[in-house]
Structure 1
Amino acid sequence: MNQPLLAHATETMAVGSKSFATASKLFDPVTRRSALMLYAWCRHCDDVIDGQTLGFNSDINPQESPQHRLAGLRTQTLRACAGEPMQEPAFAAFQEVALAHGIPQQQAFDHLEGYAMDVRGQLCHTFDDTLRYCYHVAGVVGLMMARVMGVRDEAVLDRACDLGLAFQLTNISRDIIEDAEMGRCYLPLSWLEEAGLTLENYAAPSQRAALAGVAQRLVLAAEPYYRSAQAGLRGLPLRSAWAVATASGVYREIGVKVRRAGTDAWARRAGTSKLEKLGLLVSGAAKAGASRMVSSSPRPADLWQRPGASDGHAAAAGLPEV
């Protein structure tokens, strides 16, 4: 076992996602290692595109264009999926997870498409567009994480994707101003228009009241996906169900804080305290236990459906086979 690689992945998680770092400690050791390795690869790809240095990023060349860096991520990911010897730690980590758990190559490339959308500066005109972006950056990560937990049932995978969508909708609501400062907007432009806002003025301090309404709408739109994900807990091993229920509770609470804060939602980054996380650990345990005693219910038909839920994934996603 590559202990330095695991140590670096653990540190990356601790710094990059305090919310999920807490929940990840609940996994059994084997699952936790794979979850950390997968997260480290995702974080590395994000950092490479943004030119940051949180994860395995010592070799980032700030002079390279984002397009060139994206091409490098695709090449290295393809090599990792093919089982070629990997020297780069982030891709060695991903390769270990992908080969051990049979992660479909297309899912890795679906995730990279989320970064490609950022590189292209692609805007979300409708809520469906926002959900498609959420799928690429987080929903497909839910699919890969579920496979790490041993899930192969398509219905349970749907719920895992729903949780990723809910997480990302929450993240978007929390980070609206921070994203705007980077020149990025993931809000549906149609929602901005309905609130009397434009792409040019929505982040202005004078527009906080209208923007708070849009953020609250986004938080509420995440709720059906959180509920759907909770119905999938029974399809996970008990310790994994506890970890997932806890992570869901932490992220959901962040959304609640954004909604309640109104115009002050972006005065400081919304998060949960150690005491709140402790309470959510207990609540997560209760939800995981209760999930063993309830029967499954059909996934609501009006929820956004992930691309390629059965066959024809690449065609449905609008992406080439890789």
Structure 2
Amino acid sequence: MSTPAPAVLGASEEAIAKGSKSFAAAARLFGPRMREDAVMLYAWCRHCDDVVDGQELGHGRVARALSPAERLDGLYEETRNAYRGAPSAHPAFAAFAEVVKRNDIPERYPLQLLEGFRMDVEDRRYETLDDTLTYCYHVAGVVGVMMALIMGARDDVVLDRASDLGLGFQLTNIARDVMEDAAIGRIYLPASFLAEAGVPEAEIAAREHRAAVAGVVARLLDVAEPYYDQALIGMAALPFRAAAAVGAARGVYRAIGVEVRKRGPKAWDARVSTSTAQKAGFLAGGLAQALATRFKGAPLPRSAHLWTRPQ
């Protein structure tokens, strides 16, 4: 087994500590090797997202000479080079090369994530729920699949459930970040949902539409629930500590959606997040949930209406 260079692992640890407190908290439950891989994968995902959006760890704006499309093309090239063994001076790509090699992650999965970033670069419009779910798969569901591979999963049923959880996460993110996204011209809520609620897409951030938007968001959060439920099936097939980490992350993100729904039209007056104490509670809950999966009965039936990931 190869060992990541201390500088590479250190940069990855810094990225997760600053970029996602929720993911960092859940990752504490992994064993050492699995945690290294999860942190390195996160660092690459975070780097690619930042390069495309011109941000630093998901915040602010960083001046860049190239256009978003040109920056994305560069990420495609660097990603393919990593699979061909070409060295990279950037710690995120050095980490990426290490993690895909250690876990035999097929090249199609990281490229599918980059396809999701291309949807943003091209200002893709999401007319239907299926359009929104397709985006959710590319920016989050496929990350769930890669994480499951790091956890040792190879069965398609388990990978499908990992994708389901990623979709649930992203639907929650969309619900929480509606106004932030609208401010930069991005609308991920299905246009058909907005039309049915009488909300013009150009006026999604207007105060007079807050109640109607809250209704659309509640509808999207309803869609997320079966995906969170389906994730429980996959947890039973994971190693105990991995299942606990997944259960903790599931609890944190689902709680964000619950709070967004509870606040209604006031959901975007302040950013919804979970406190340190709440995260600690979800870590304990993840352990309990993982233990429960060791003694599970018949698996949950898969809901027929759920979106299916591409193979």
Give your verdict on TM over 0.5. yes
Cross-structure match for 1:316: none
Cross-structure match for 1:89: 91
State the Cα distance separating 1:283 from its structure 2 match. Answer: 1.3
Q: Give the structure-2-normalised TM-score.
A: 0.95
Among residues 34, 37, 52, which one is paired with 2:40 in the alignment? 37
Q: 1:30 is matched by which residue type in structure 2?
A: R
Cross-structure match for 1:20: 23
1:132 matched to 2:130:
no
State the Cα distance separating 1:54 from its structure 2 match. Answer: 2.3
Q: Counterparts of 2:275 and 2:159 in 1: how far apart (Å)?
A: 30
State the Cα distance separating 1:89 from its structure 2 match. Answer: 1.2
Cross-structure match for 1:255: 257
Q: Is the 8 A contact 2:44 2:96 kept in 1?
A: yes
1:231 matched to 2:224:
no
Q: Counterparts of 1:53 and 1:271 in 2: how far apart (Å)?
A: 20
Aligned pairs (5 A) from 1:66-81:
66-81=68-83
Cross-structure match for 1:149: 151
Among residues 188, 193, 196, which one is paired with 2:195 in the alignment? 193
Q: Counterparts of 2:205 and 2:215 in 1: how far apart (Å)?
A: 13
Among residues 260, 264, 267, which one is paired with 2:266 in the alignment? 264
State the Cα distance separating 1:7 from its structure 2 match. Answer: 1.6
Q: Is the 8 A contact 2:236 2:294 kept in 1?
A: yes
State the Cα distance separating 1:177 from its structure 2 match. Answer: 0.2
Q: Is the 8 A contact 2:182 2:204 kept in 1?
A: no
Secondary structure of the structure 1 residue equivalent to 2:45: helix
Cross-structure match for 1:52: 55
Cross-structure match for 1:118: 120
Secondary structure of the structure 2 residue equivalent to 1:14: helix
| Identity %, equivalent residues | 54
Q: 1:4 is matched by which residue type in structure 2?
A: A
Among residues 103, 106, 109, which one is paired with 1:104 in the alignment? 106
Q: Counterparts of 1:283 and 1:258 in 2: how far apart (Å)?
A: 21
Secondary structure of the structure 2 residue equivalent to 1:200: helix
**Residues 94-139 of structure 1: CA deviation (Å, up to 9, x unaligned):** 1101111111101110000011000000011000000000000000
Q: 2:8 is matched by which residue type in structure 1?
A: L
Cross-structure match for 2:216: 214
Q: Is the 8 A contact 2:126 2:190 kept in 1?
A: yes
State the Cα distance separating 1:82 from its structure 2 match. Answer: 1.5
State the Cα distance separating 1:85 from its structure 2 match. Answer: 1.8
Q: Counterparts of 1:178 and 1:170 in 2: how far apart (Å)?
A: 14
Q: Counterparts of 1:300 and 1:146 in 2: how far apart (Å)?
A: 21
Secondary structure of the structure 2 residue equivalent to 1:270: coil
**Residues 42-81 of structure 1: CA deviation (Å, up to 9, x unaligned):** 00000001111228xxxx7612101100100000000001
Q: 1:186 is matched by which residue type in structure 2?
A: Y
Identify unmatched segments of 5+ residues in structure 1.
309-322
**Residues 174-200 of structure 1: CA deviation (Å, up to 9, x unaligned):** 000000111101010000000001111
Cross-structure match for 1:175: 177
Cross-structure match for 1:285: 287
Q: Counterparts of 1:239 and 1:68 in 2: how far apart (Å)?
A: 40
Q: 1:21 is matched by which residue type in structure 2?
A: A
Cross-structure match for 1:11: 14
**Residues 228-281 of structure 1: CA deviation (Å, up to 9, x unaligned):** 001211110000000000000000000000000001100111111111111111
Secondary structure of the structure 2 residue equivalent to 1:290: helix
Q: 2:197 is matched by which residue type in structure 1?
A: A
Q: Give the structure-1-normalised TM-score.
A: 0.92
Pairwise CA RMSD of aligned residues? 1.2
Identify unmatched segments of 5+ residues in structure 2.
none
